[in-house]
Amino acid sequence: MADALAVTAPEAVVPAALELRDVHKSFGATSIIRGVSLSVPRGERHAIIGPNGAGKSTLFNLVSGRLRPTRGSIRLEGQEIAGKRAFRIARRGLARSFQVTNIFPRLTVYENIRCSVLWSLGYRYDFWRRIDRLRDANERAEHTLEQIHLAGRRDALAGVLTYAEQRALEIGITIAGGARVILLDEPTAGMSRQEAEHTVELIRSLTRDRTLVMVEHDMGVVFGLADRISVLVYGEIIATDVPQRIRANEAVRAAYLGTVDA
Amino acid sequence: MIARARPAWWLGAAVLLAVLPWVPGLQSDFGRSLLSQMGIAAIFALSYNLLLGQTGLLSFGHAVYFGLGGYVSAHFMRAINAGLPVPIALVPVAGALAGLAFGIAFGALTTRRGGTIFALISLGVGELVHATSLMLPSFFGGEEGVTASRTKAPHPLGLDFGSQLQVYYVIAAWLLVAALLMHAFMRTPVGRLCNAVRDNPERVEFIGYNPQRVRFIVFSIAAAFAGLAGGLHAINYEIVAAEALSATRSGEVLLMVYIGGVHHFMGAILGAAAITWLQVSLSDYTTAWLLYLGLLFMGIVAFVPGGLAGLVTMHLAALRTRALAAIARAYAAALPVALLASAGAITLIEIAYRRSTQPEAGTRMKLFWIPMDTAKPWPWLAAAALLAVGAAALLRLWPRVSRAWASAGEELHGRG
């Protein structure tokens, strides 16, 4: 509990990495997100859990610019990003991965990563420089490739990788640009126990000194990785707290955990 | 994929382009004219493949930029004819600038969306420009088009464009320059992002780039190179007419690139050369040449998605495997029956064409040096029998070919 206070205390001076205030999203008459407020301080690893259909992926889509919120405010390091297009939000230092693998299948693994580092290194729509001569971009790409343990598959087409390799590449594309806020959407979905543990270690090392928000179903992963957990049920956050207290929370148990922990 | 190209490779290409017009068979004015047309088509096709193969943009109106570049070049040539001191060899620059300008103007509208929407809008723009070309005779010259002379101009370095050989060399030089530039473009950051947009435009947004902007840039550049090809077209024919920007020409370049192979840089060049050759040569032999072209296109789309370039790279790779001998043996067995089936099919097509499209030519004709009478049943029956027997035998032999290729594939992938 003291830890949690220590992490949240500087909020007053430094703006939160991510701050959602009363965010709503409806599709026609159907409300998917119904007034979500959430503050994630810098450097925190925050997990969002909740039953299927609670709106977790929709929430990620709102934050990352894939969808526009119906109303509400989303601030990234103090700056309003609600309703901005995805590439503008990405340029401000927020990167995300996808639940369904979302890579560039006919580019090589290396090219997937190299394309992902370009903008953050200041290369825009350049057609007067040779990409092979951009030392910083190539070094960053090589380094990322080693971090995600895919150096051995450097020149393979991303589309022919195994599922686990593609999931690692998905994370690689997400972190390669050096974003300060990372959203991971079910990074261990569909993985074996061993693969999931491996991925957790990967995430732990890759998100050091960054802010991480993740949606995850695997409670082992969530409780092992998260500093705090938010529980989303039917488009509303019913609790946000440190893992031990979430586990003990009656409302959460009733809505969600009871079935899993039993 | 765009491989790193070595200087030696480009030097080899330059030497090949220099030697081609002296190769027996191409040494005539006819051969050199054929080579000139191939060169123009190659630049046009390469520019089209920046869209289709590299960025995944299927355009049905790319000839708009070829044609407009051609018209502007023809007017530019007329200005040179009237005394403007510019060498004719630089006319394609005007074509490229015109292509770029129109590419920017139309691209701003058409590249906001990719996929089907883009394809349909490109079709609309193509029809719009084609219709406009017939309504503005002052610029487009009406049905006759715009004529200009390539010889009434300054002659630096003795370049007077008096012979087809000179025209060819100017086209070849521009082809080399254009190919180098387009190849280099694909190896820049935005060139790589074109591939990323082709693969997954949505993900591109999440790595910080606007896919609309990427499409717009590559579209403008492709239009500039199409305009450059149009400028060479103006020099080569000394006339540009509405056909140059028609849907027919837009369809033609799609055929070239697809038949040549969209996944390989060389594919567009191979396809341009092959289709131009078919257009120029095959049309001398048979009135059914468009049908053969259509069959070729369907065959490639259905069975050889990599196109001619894919076939070439596949066979080059097989050269390094132990399965090569098995492949060669399987081919040797399949080839005679394939020829048999083709002979049957060609005979059927030719006699049917003769009867339906040229009844005035009579019923007697000669095919494969054999005289026949299309009014009698036996040529039909014999041809049908050839086709049936040949096709049946080919179906029986084909598993051998597949097996040989499968073992070659295993060997290649096993090596990593």
Torsion sign across C-alpha atoms A55, A242, A188, A43: positive
Contacts with A85 from chain B: Cβ below 8 Å: 205, 210
Burial code (b: 16+ CB inside 10 Å, e: under 16) for B12-40 equals ebeeebeebbeeeebeeeebbbbbbbbbb
Residue count of chain A, please give it: 262
Distance from CA of residue A49 to its chain's centroid? 13
Q: Do B207 and A115 touch (CB under 8 A)?
A: yes
Q: How far is CA A102 from CA A96, A187, B194, B200, B202, in A?
A: 10, 12, 17, 8, 9
Give the separation between CA A73 and CA A83, rounded to whole angstroms.
9
Distance from CA of residue A210 to its chain's centroid? 11
Give the separation between CA A76 and CA A62, rounded to whole angstroms.
12
Q: How far is CA A38 from CA A142, A230, B161, in A?
A: 36, 8, 74
Closest by CA to B387, choosing from B415, B350, B353, is B350
Interface test with A, best of B202, B207, B219 (most A CBs within 10 A): B207
Give the separation between CA B182 and CA B173, rounded to whole angstroms.
14
The pLDDT value recorded for residue B325 is 85
Contacts with A125 from chain B: Cβ below 8 Å: 189-190, 193, 209, 213-214, 217
Closest by CA to B225, choosing from B100, B404, B353, is B100
- Report, as ranges of residue numbers, the positions in chain B whose pLDDT lies below 70: 1-5, 414-416
Torsion sign across C-alpha atoms A136, A63, A48, A54: negative
Residues 6+ apart with CB under 8 A from B222: B47, B48, B50, B51, B62, B65, B103
Give the separation between CA B66 and CA B68, rounded to whole angstroms.
6
The pLDDT value recorded for residue B5 is 65
Torsion sign across C-alpha atoms A127, A128, A131, A136: negative
| Strand bridging mode B239-240 / A30-40 | unpaired
Residues A57/A49, Cβ–Cβ less than 8 Å: no
Segment holding B80, helix H or strand E: helix B63-81
**pTM to 2 decimal places:** 0.91
Q: Report the amino acid identity of residue A231.
A: V
Give the ipTM of the model, two decimals please.
0.91
Per-residue tens of pLDDT for chain A, all 262 residues: 444 444 455 445 789 999 999 999 999 999 999 999 999 999 999 999 998 889 999 999 999 999 999 999 999 999 999 999 999 999 999 999 999 999 999 999 999 999 999 999 999 999 999 999 999 999 999 999 999 999 999 999 999 999 999 999 999 999 999 999 999 999 998 888 898 999 999 999 999 999 999 999 888 889 989 999 999 999 999 999 999 999 888 888 887 655 544 3
User: pLDDT tens across B181-235, in order?
Assistant: 999 999 999 999 999 999 999 999 999 999 999 999 999 999 999 999 999 999 9
The pLDDT value recorded for residue A6 is 47
Q: How many CB atoms lie within 10 A of CB A156?
A: 15
- Joined together, the tokens standing for residue B52 give 């289709």
Q: Least CB-CB distance to A126: which of B189, B205, B207?
A: B189
- Joined together, the tokens standing for residue A176 give 């390669």
Give the separation between CA A235 and CA A52, rounded to whole angstroms.
11
Q: Which residue has the tokens 């009135």?
A: B287
Burial code (b: 16+ CB inside 10 Å, e: under 16) for B79-103 equals ebbeeeebebbebbbbbbbbbbbbb
Closest by CA to B69, choosing from B52, B86, B49, B47, is B47
- Joined together, the tokens standing for residue B148 give 């200009």
User: Bridge-partner residues for B124, per DSSP?
Assistant: none
Interface of A with B (CB under 8 A): 64-66, 85-87, 90-91, 95-96, 98, 102-107, 111, 114-116, 118-120, 123-132, 134, 137, 173-174, 176-177
Q: Where are the domains of chain B?
A: 7-286, 319-414
Q: Report the amino acid identity of residue B408.
A: A
Distance from CA of residue A259 to its chain's centroid? 26
Q: Find the closest chain B residue to A118 by CA distance.
A: B189
Q: Least CB-CB distance to B190: which of A95, A127, A176?
A: A127
The pLDDT value recorded for residue B333 is 87
Give the separation between CA B295 and CA A70, rounded to whole angstroms.
53
Distance from CA of residue A235 to its chain's centroid? 18
Closest by CA to A111, choosing from B197, B56, B319, is B197
Q: Do A85 and B4 touch (CB under 8 A)?
A: no
Residue A48 backbone dihedrals phi, psi, to 5 degrees = -115, 120
Give the separation between CA B123 and CA B117, rounded to whole angstroms.
10
Q: What is the DSSP letter of B59?
A: -
Burial of A189 (0-12, 13-18, 19+ CB in 10 A): middle
Residues 6+ apart with CB under 8 A from A119: A90, A91, A177, B207, B208, B209
Give the separation between CA B227 and CA B274, rounded to whole angstroms.
22
The pLDDT value recorded for residue B173 is 97
- Joined together, the tokens standing for residue B335 give 């080839």
Interface test with B, best of A125, A140, A171 (most B CBs within 10 A): A125
Interface of B with A (CB under 8 A): 4, 184-185, 187-193, 195-196, 198-200, 202-210, 213-214, 217, 221
In SS3 terms, B157-173 reads as: HHCCCCCHHHHHHHHHH
The pLDDT value recorded for residue B4 is 63
B7-286 in CATH: which number?
A: 1.10.3470
